[in-house]
Amino acid sequence: MPMNTHLSLRHPLVFRQLEVRRVETLTPHMRRIVFGGAALHDFVSAAPDDHVKLFFPNAHGEIVRPTIGPNGPLYEAGVAYSPMRDYTPRHYDAQAQELTIDFVLHGDGPAARWTAQARPGQAIGAGGPRGSLVIADDFDTYAMFGDETALPAIGRWLEELPAGKRAEVFVEIPGHADRQPLASAAKFHLTWLERDGADAASSTGLEQALAAWQPPAGDTFHWIAAESERARRLRQMLAERGVTKDCIKATGYWKAAA
Ligand SMILES: Cc1cc2nc3c(=O)[nH]c(=O)nc-3n(C[C@H](O)[C@H](O)[C@H](O)COP(=O)(O)OP(=O)(O)OC[C@H]3O[C@@H](n4cnc5c(N)ncnc54)[C@H](O)[C@@H]3O)c2cc1C
């Protein structure tokens, strides 16, 4: 009898200074950056959709992060803090103490600009992961719907799924050249949804795919990550089908400009 019990973990908050070791262009809109540093010796990421908070250099090229008080981060007036963005630990190699992160090159924004110029030797700050939601491993099927920012989590999840599980995966990407090889011991069915010039925030590729999709027999966990409004809409579509909350995790990975 399946239990479908998720596990919520908290980790001590650790800030680390990392150094870029290698930069690789995976596809036209994605760069893989491998970070190293002794500070990674106790890095832990328990779930494939964990995130770290990356601190990018400020206008003076410095990493400046807030101090942490009893009620959270403390910001002083007049200090040029580093822009901070969320990224998925795509892979952690404990032996080499190396953390791999895949960055979308979407155009503008401190993280995207930094990624475009990144080269070995540069420094970056990383906080967390602060917590992990480890999704129950006894669902028959894991259904994943995401845009290109979700690809690192989806790729990692597929790699971690054992044989005997099934995954149904829908990934919306800018175009054909943005497809990337994904591997799993589980049986998975992958559908690439190419926007071909359509806007990432107003595209409806994922919504159409979800509307046409029927879950296979057995129980299914549904995971969604995309632009915030679209993630909300996709979650709503599942709720209207009667899918219960404990079988859905939907997260806005970025916010379209108002
Ligand atoms: C839990 C979590 C995990 C994430 N993991 C990853 C990851 O592994 N890799 C990754 O690349 N991203 C990931 N993201 C998304 C990433 O944090 C955002 O895309 C972030 O906004 C990028 O910051 P920026 O400084 O480049 O742009 P911002 O300064 O945040 O935004 C600047 C402008 O760009 C637009 N914009 C931001 N992101 C996108 C986008 N992807 N496509 C089109 N327009 C965009 C905004 O609407 C805004 O108009 C994750 C987000 C979350 C919440």
pLDDT digits (tens, 9 = 90+) for 54-104: 999 999 999 999 988 888 889 999 999 999 999 999 999 999 999 999 999
Edge-first strand order for the sheet with 166-173 is: 187-194, 166-173, 141-146, 220-227, 248-254
Q: Could you tell me if the CB of 245 is within 6 A of ligand 1? A: no
What distances in angstroms separate CA 3 from CA 22, 136, 137, 250, one per listed residue? 42, 8, 9, 21
Q: Could you tell me if the CB of 57 is within 6 A of ligand 1? A: no
Where do the domains of the chain lie?
Answer: 7-131, 139-254
Q: Which residue CA neighbors atom 30 of ligand 1 most closely?
A: 109
φ and ψ at 23, to 5 degrees? -130, 130
Average pLDDT over residues 113-117: 98
Q: Which residue has the tokens 């953390």?
A: 99
Which structure tokens are listed for 119?
């080269």
Average pLDDT over residues 154-178: 98
Asked whether the beta carbons of 219 and 246 are under 8 A apart, the reply is no
Separation of alpha carbons 221 and 134, rounded Å: 12
pLDDT digits (tens, 9 = 90+) for 172-228: 999 999 999 999 999 999 999 999 999 999 999 999 999 999 999 999 999 999 999
φ and ψ at 192, to 5 degrees? -90, 130
Mapping DSSP to helix (H, G, I), strand (E, B) and coil, where does residue 185 land?
A: coil
7-131: CATH topology: Elongation Factor Tu (Ef-tu); domain 3 (2.40.30)
Task: Say how many Å lie between the CA of residue 149 and the centre of ligand 1.
Answer: 7
Closest ligand 1 atom to residue 101 Cα is 8
Separation of alpha carbons 54 and 222, rounded Å: 27
2 pLDDT more than 70: no
Report pLDDT for 258: 86
Separation of alpha carbons 136 and 200, rounded Å: 31
Separation of alpha carbons 257 and 238, rounded Å: 26
Q: Which residue CA neighbors atom 48 of ligand 1 most closely?
A: 257
Q: Could you tell me if the CB of 203 is within 6 A of ligand 1? A: no
Task: Say how many Å lie between the CA of residue 165 and the centre of ligand 1.
Answer: 30
Task: Please give the residue that has the higher pLDDT: either 69 or 11.
Answer: 11
φ and ψ at 210, to 5 degrees? -65, -40
Task: Say how many Å lie between the CA of residue 225 and the centre of ligand 1.
Answer: 11
Within the chain, strands assigned E span 7-10, 15-27, 30-36, 52-55, 67-69, 72-74, 84-87, 91-93, 98-104, 123-127, 131-134, 141-146, 166-173, 187-194, 220-227, 248-254
Q: Percentage of residues in the chain with pLDDT exceeding 90?
A: 95
Task: Say how many Å lie between the CA of residue 251 and the centre of ligand 1.
Answer: 12
Q: Could you tell me if the CB of 152 is within 6 A of ligand 1? A: yes
- DSSP lists the bridge partners of residue 172 as 193
Q: Could you tell me if the CB of 66 is within 6 A of ligand 1? A: no
69-78, 117-126, 190-199, 232-241: the lowest-pLDDT one: 69-78
Alpha-helix residue ranges (DSSP H) falling in the chain: 110-117, 151-160, 205-212, 228-240
Q: Could you tell me if the CB of 55 is within 6 A of ligand 1? A: no
Give the chain's mean pLDDT.
96
State the pLDDT confidence band at 48, using cuts at 50, 70 and 90.
Answer: very high
Separation of alpha carbons 190 and 241, rounded Å: 22
Class of domain 139-254: alpha beta
Please name which of 36, 159, 42, 193 lies closest in space to residue 101, comparing C-alpha atoms.
36
